[in-house]
């Protein structure tokens, strides 16, 4: 955890370990600097005078930088207010009649088209390719398939290249929510093979409130927000110039520093090994599948996830009971349920996600807190903890 955050007056715990990077990542210094610079300057990118032209130039430079993250041409990048809007624009704007979404998609995809058909996943959370093929063959209407690149709760990676081949064979469109993967693994829009890719800035060290939908081909979108014709008519509203600048700076930094995830992977593996050593009955979900290097989803059987998160927080360790979006509300994870995880484990699983600033000390701190909690729960009557 960075020192500035530790030093903040409102935070009282002696030591703090942030292990909820999939919820949001700290703003990268380069992004903060780019945003501060743009906030100090005025100008609407649509204005033709010099103030406006300067803002426009910055936005177009940023468009190239964000496109480069995916090796995509800048003209396909549509800046939006975040991953949620990107997913909505992809699904609601693609002019398709039929929607197939994987059962482990983020809420923002599931809620965009509630009537969408669900593509089942296997025990590891990976889309069942044969079923996808059958579903597409069963109905000839023009379809859009939406499959995320990396799952936000488990980090499990989908075989997008294979999925794209099936989708293309049926003449359907493919959307890929890459919000969680971007900045953590190398990305290439040709390898992903999707027509539409969603990105979120704050997951890779940019600010919240900005994201992009990348259109890799010639697809014409129906805009969600109408008005002044910005973003080539695909998304109206004055461009969030500081947000866009911060996004671009973070994207550049993330791409340059991708190698740090070798270290993050080692830390994650140490953490998982530590957990297994403390509690042989603990389960890491999705462990046998290809995963993001930073994410682990750990079940401590018999101990409610909320109890674990609160206990860890009291010890200064910040993790989450699932997706941050839903951590305020109670209810089992639809991701784990789709993977066929039994109700006993679903309710006792937490997500631990690391980032570029994570250290050995963070892992040690987590293991100490997790072990204390585990021993306390073992020592007590089990039913007292499992409530």
Interactions with another protein, residue window 325-364 (CB under 8 A): 325-329
Q: Which of 42, 176, 325, 385 is catalytic?
A: 325
Give the interface segment with another protein, choosing from 84-92, 166-174, 263-271, 359-367 (CB under 8 A): 84-92
Q: Binding to another protein by residue 23, rule CB under 8 A? A: yes
Q: Which of residues 165-224 bind another protein (CB under 8 A)?
A: 200, 202, 207-211, 224
Length of the chain as a residue count = 387
Reading the block at residue 365, the tokens are 């701190």
325 flagged as catalytic: yes
**Where on the phi/psi map is residue 217: left (φ > 0), alpha (ψ -120 to 50), or beta?**
beta
18 contacts another protein (rule: CB under 8 A):
yes
> How many residues make contact with another protein (CB under 8 A)?
82
Paired residues of 5 in beta bridges: none
Between 107 and 124, whose beta carbon lies closer to another protein? Answer: 107
32-61: which residues touch another protein (CB under 8 A)?
Answer: 32, 35-36, 39-44, 46-52, 54
Enumerate residues 110-139 that contact another protein by CB under 8 A: 111-112
User: Which of 246, 237, 245, 268 is CA-nearest to residue 202?
Assistant: 246
Which residue among 98, 104, 108, 286 contacts another protein (CB under 8 A)?
108
Pairing of strands 173-177, 196-200: parallel
Q: How many angstroms separate the CA atoms of 290 and 156, rounded? A: 6
The interface region with another protein, picked from 95-103, 121-129, 157-165, 235-243 by CB under 8 A, is: 235-243
Rounded to the nearest whole angstrom, what is the least distance from the CB of residue 167 to another protein in the complex? Answer: 25
Closest CA relative to residue 153, chosen from 374, 320, 366, 370: 320
Q: Is 169 exposed, middle or buried (0-12, 13-18, 19+ CB in 10 A)?
A: exposed
User: Going by C-beta distance under 8 Å and a sequence separation of 6 or more, which residues neighbour residue 111?
Assistant: none
Residues 248-307 that bind another protein (CB under 8 A): none
Residue placing its CB nearer to another protein in the complex, 167 or 252: 252
Active site residues: 325
């Amino acid at each position: 955890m960075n020192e500035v955050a530790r030093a903040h007056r409102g935070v009282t715990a002696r030591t703090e370990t942030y292990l909820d990077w999939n919820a949001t990542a700290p703003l990268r210094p380069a992004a903060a600097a780019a945003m501060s610079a743009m906030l100090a300057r005025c100008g609407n990118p649509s204005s033709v005078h010099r103030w406006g032209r300067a803002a426009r130039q910055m936005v177009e430079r940023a468009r190239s930088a964000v496109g480069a993250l995916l090796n995509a041409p800048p003209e396909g990048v549509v800046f939006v207010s975040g991953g949620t809007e990107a997913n909505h624009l992809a699904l609601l704007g693609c002019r398709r009649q039929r929607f197939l979404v994987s059962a482990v998609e983020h809420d923002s995809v599931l809620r965009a088209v509630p009537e969408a058909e669900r593509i089942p996943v296997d025990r590891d959370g990976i889309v069942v390719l044969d079923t996808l093929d059958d579903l597409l063959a069963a109905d000839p209407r023009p379809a859009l398939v939406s499959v995320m690149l990396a799952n936000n709760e488990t980090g499990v990676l989908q075989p997008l290249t294979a999925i794209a081949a099936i989708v293309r064979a049926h003449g359907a469109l493919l959307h890929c929510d890459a919000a969680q993967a971007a900045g953590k693994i190398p990305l290439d829009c040709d390898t992903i093979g999707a027509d539409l890719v969603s990105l979120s800035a704050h997951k890779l060290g940019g600010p919240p409130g900005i994201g992009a939908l990348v259109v890799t081909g010639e697809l014409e979108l129906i805009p969600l927000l109408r008005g002044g014709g910005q973003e080539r008519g695909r998304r109206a509203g004055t461009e969030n110039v500081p947000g866009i600048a911060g996004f671009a700076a973070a994207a550049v930094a993330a791409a340059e520093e991708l190698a740090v995830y070798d270290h993050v992977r080692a830390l994650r593996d140490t953490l998982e090994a530590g957990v297994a050593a403390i509690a042989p009955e603990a389960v890491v979900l999705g462990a046998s599948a290809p995963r993001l290097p930073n994410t682990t989803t750990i079940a401590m059987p018999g101990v409610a996830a909320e109890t674990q998160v609160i206990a860890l927080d009291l010890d200064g360790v910040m993790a989450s009971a699932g997706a941050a979006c839903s951590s305020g509300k109670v209810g089992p994870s639809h991701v784990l349920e789709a993977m066929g995880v039994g109700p006993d484990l679903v309710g006792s699983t937490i997500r631990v996600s690391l980032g570029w600033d994570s250290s050995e000390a963070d892992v040690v701190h987590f293991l100490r807190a997790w072990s204390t909690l585990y021993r306390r729960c073992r020592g007590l009557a089990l039913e007292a903890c499992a409530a």
